[in-house]
Amino acid sequence: MAGHHVSRRAFVAAGTGAVLAPVLAAPARANGRRPFGRYGSPSARLDARTLYVHPGGLGDHTTVQAAVTAATGAGFTLVIGPGVYRETVSVGAVDPATGLPGPVASEMTWIGASGDPRDVVVVYDNANGTPKPDGSGTYGTTGSATTTVRADGFTARSVTFANDWLRADHPDITGTQAVAIKVQGDRSAFHRCRFLGHQDTLYADTTALAVFARQYYRDCYVEGDVDFVFGRATAVFEHCRFHTLDRTDLAGAPYGFVFAPSTAVADPRGYLVTGGRISSSAPDAYYKLARPWVPGSDPTARPMLTVRDTRLDAGVDAVAPYTDMSAAHPWQAQRFAEYRNTGPGAVITVPENRPQLTDAEAGQHTRAAYLGDWCP
C-alpha cells in the first residue's frame, strides 16, 4: 500500500496494475437500457430459474444475498448487473442436524452481466478481529468472509470478490485476517474472476476434514500479502495471476506468503498452479512462495502445492521461496514441488530449497489428474 492513508473504497477502486482499473464509479453501460446485456431481463427472462440483480432496481433484486435467498432450489442463475454490492453473501445454508450444507442453492451460477469483472464487485470489510454488533465476540477468520460458498456445483463468471478491510484503519485490531471469499463446495468453478484483499484473501477449503472438495480457477486474478490463497481444497489454478502487495507497515522481508495450503493427509491432491504468473508491487525477494498451514483442527495435515509452467517475478525470494509456519511442521516434510517455472523468482540457486518434479512425476500433476471425472 502507499505510504499515505488509503480509504477502504479507494483500495478496491485502485488496486494494482492495469488489471485493476477503477470499479467503484458506475460504468457508463450500467445506466443504459440493457444493464444485463445478452442475458435478458426481468421482462425477457431467459428461463424461470434466471434471476436478475441490479443495485438501481432494474432487476428482480437489488442485493446479491436477496437473489440467493429467493433461489429456492437447485440450478439457479444470477445475472448481476454492473455495480458495487457492499454486503456479505452466503450460498448454501447449513443443516443444523448435520453441520453440512443442504441441497438448496446447489448448482448455482453467478454471471457478471458485462463480462468484465471490474464492473461487478461484491465487497465488505469484516476482519477476524472485528467485533460482532451483538457483542458476542469477534467474527474470526471464517466469519470475516465477504462471500461464503458451501453448496456444491457453484460457478462464477466475471465477478470481483473483495474484502477491503485495511490494517491502517484499525490499528487496535490484531486479528487481521480478512477473507474475500471462502469456497467449500465440491465442483466450484471461477472463470475470469478477481479476488481482492490483503491477508487470507481466497480461502479455498472444504466443508469438513473428511470431505475432498474440487475447485477450478481459470484466467483469474488474486492479490494480497499474507497467506492470501489458503485452505485444504483440491484446487487447480490455470492461467491465473497472483499479485503480492507492497507494505509500509513492516521494516523488512518477508512481507508475506502467496500460498498456505492445509491439505488433509488422506487427500492425494492439494493446490496446483499451472500456466500462471506471480507478480509483485513489493521489493525484490520480499515474498515467499508458500508456507505450510497445519491447523490446530487437523494436526495431521500434510500441505500440498505444485507450481508448474508459471512465471515467478522478482518479488519471489528465489533463494528460499518456502518457509515454516510452525517449527513443528517444517516445509521440507510437506508436499511442495515445482516444475519448469520461469522468471527471476524461479532461478534455482540453492537446489535443496527448490524441490523439482521429474518429467514422469509432472504427468501426475495436471488439471485432469486433480479434478478426475469433473470437467468444469
Which residues are the active-site residues?
Answer: 200, 227
Q: Which residues, 6+ apart, have CB-to-CB distance to 264 below 8 Å?
A: 209, 210, 212, 232, 298, 300, 301, 302
| 3-state class (DSSP) for residue 348 | coil
Q: Which helix (H) or strand (E) is 8 found in, with range?
A: helix 8-14
Rounded Cα–Cα distance for residues 32 and 54 (Å): 12
Cα-Cα-Cα-Cα dihedral of 77, 123, 216, 340, to 10°? 150
Measure the N-to-C terminal CA separation of the chain; round to a whole number of Å. Answer: 35
Residue type, 35: P
| Amino acid (one-letter) located at 232 | R
Distance of CA 61 to the CA centre of its chain: 25
Q: What is the DSSP string of 118-163?
A: GGEEEEE---TTPBPTTSS-B-HHHHT-SEEE-SSS-EEES-EEEE
How far is Cα 129 from Cα 173, in angstroms, rounded to an integer? 6
CA distance 53 to 331: 45
Report helix, strand or coil for 189. strand
Closest by CA position to 334, among listed 251, 259, 246:
259
Instruction: Please count the residues of the chain.
Output: 376
Are the C-beta atoms of 245 and 223 separated by less than 8 Å? yes
